[in-house]
Chain A
Amino acid sequence: MSRPGRDDSPDRLYTLTQGRSRSGPDNPFDLVTLVVAECDPVPGMQSEHVAILRMTERPTAVVEIAAELKLPVNITRILLSDLLAAGRVSARHPRKAAVYDPDILEQVLVGLRNL
């Protein structure tokens, strides 16, 4: 297995994302945002979009999608924001407040102890 994205020239990445630049601060996708497909792939769809829709039939984290596509995370986030804008996927963002939430920490502990 080769490291993902090794031979991705900036030009290829530019083509993939059609020059879009929405992975900046307003891109809502966290590394662990769980993405869920809201439709099936349709003919003519960009192959990366097809791959994402297949992969996200079950919730799948942004970072797993990037690893599977062998694309850098920032490029993956741009692809995802296109799909989100088109209503083709939905996003379950991490609850940021969870970091401080004693109930969530307790759930994490229980989960870890049960491993």
Chain B
Amino acid sequence: MDSATSETRTPLGASADNGLKIVVVGGFGAGKTTLVRSVSEIRPLNTEELMTRAGEAVDDVRGVRGKHTTTVAFDFGRISLDAHNVLYLFGAPGQERFWFLWDQLFSGTLGAVVLVDTRRIDDSWYAIDRLERNGTPFIVACNDFGGPAFAPEQVRDALDLDPHVPLITCDARSRESSKLVLITLVEHLRALYADPARAPRQELV
């Protein structure tokens, strides 16, 4: 293979057979791509989905003809966990108009990280609302941009966060810190599923 992109591809092992998903949501500039890059074994790739102006994902190309379509872009990275499991991390803008698409694309996700820039906390309100309504388990990670430090309780209050949802601070530029964000999410999932009374009712489509 001789194309420029193919040279940089890192193939998976032949036995890889189970793709897993974690979604990182947050406002523009919250550090989603940075976090994905910090832990990914591949350079984050960008791709997109077509949507009609009405906000529907396009599933019939015939319907696209003559219709006003727009595209919504997202980026992703990859972590080979072992010989079988491959974790894909998706960075998704959290704005309202994109959620129709995320519901489809990210069904069956393990869980989500809401990445918060504490200088713009209200950017995360809609994403949190939506995750709660979908029953998608999530944690909140405050990306430290060096602004005034908020006490965790202040952030929790501002987000009106359920007391059992973990809230941590992170530096998305650091691999160790980003790793810890993912570990915190998966530990949270494990605790949730171990307690039937609190187990999420996420729909598996």
Which one, A11, A75, A94, A106, contacts B18 given CB within 8 A?
A: A94
Chain B binding site: helix, strand, loop or mixed by DSSP?
Answer: mixed
How many pairs, one residue from A and one from B, have CB atoms within 8 Å of each other in the complex? 184
- Contacts A21-B60, A31-B105, A66-B47; A106 near B17 (Cβ below 8 A): no
Across the interface, do A105 and B193 meet the contact criterion of CB distance under 8 Å? Answer: yes
15 interchain pairs, CB-CB under 8 A: A11-B65, A21-B62, A23-B59, A31-B106, A34-B86, A58-B13, A61-B19, A61-B78, A68-B45, A75-B61, A102-B194, A108-B20, A109-B183, A110-B82, A115-B39
Across the interface, do A75 and B182 meet the contact criterion of CB distance under 8 Å? Answer: no
Q: A104 → chain B, closest Cβ, in Å?
A: 7
Question: B186 near A: Cβ within 8 Å?
Answer: yes
How far does the alpha carbon of A23 sit from the alpha carbon of B93 in the complex, in Å?
23
Interface size on B, residues (CB 8 A): 64
Across the interface, do B183 and A13 meet the contact criterion of CB distance under 8 Å? Answer: no
By a CB distance below 8 angstroms, the chain B residues around A106 are 190
How far does the alpha carbon of A19 sit from the alpha carbon of B18 in the complex, in Å?
31
Across the interface, do B87 and A31 meet the contact criterion of CB distance under 8 Å? Answer: no
Q: A112 → chain B, closest Cβ, in Å?
A: 5
Across the interface, do A67 and B47 meet the contact criterion of CB distance under 8 Å? Answer: yes
Across the interface, do A73 and B47 meet the contact criterion of CB distance under 8 Å? Answer: yes
Question: B12 near A: Cβ within 8 Å?
Answer: yes
A76-101: CB near B (< 8 Å → 1, else 0) gives 00100000000000001011111110
Closest 4 CB pairs of A and B: A111-B81, A32-B19, A58-B11, A67-B45
Q: A36's closest neighbor in chain B, by CB?
A: B14
Select the stretch in B25-33, B66-74, B150-158 that faces chain A.
Answer: B66-74
B41-82: CB near A (< 8 Å → 1, else 0) gives 000011111100000011111111111010101001011111
Q: A94 → chain B, closest Cβ, in Å?
A: 5
- Contacts A59-B12, A108-B110; A74 near B49 (Cβ below 8 A): yes
Question: B164 near A: Cβ within 8 Å?
Answer: no
By a CB distance below 8 angstroms, the chain B residues around A25 are 59
How far does the alpha carbon of A60 sit from the alpha carbon of B130 in the complex, in Å?
30
Question: A64 near B: Cβ within 8 Å?
Answer: yes
How far does the alpha carbon of A73 sit from the alpha carbon of B106 in the complex, in Å?
13
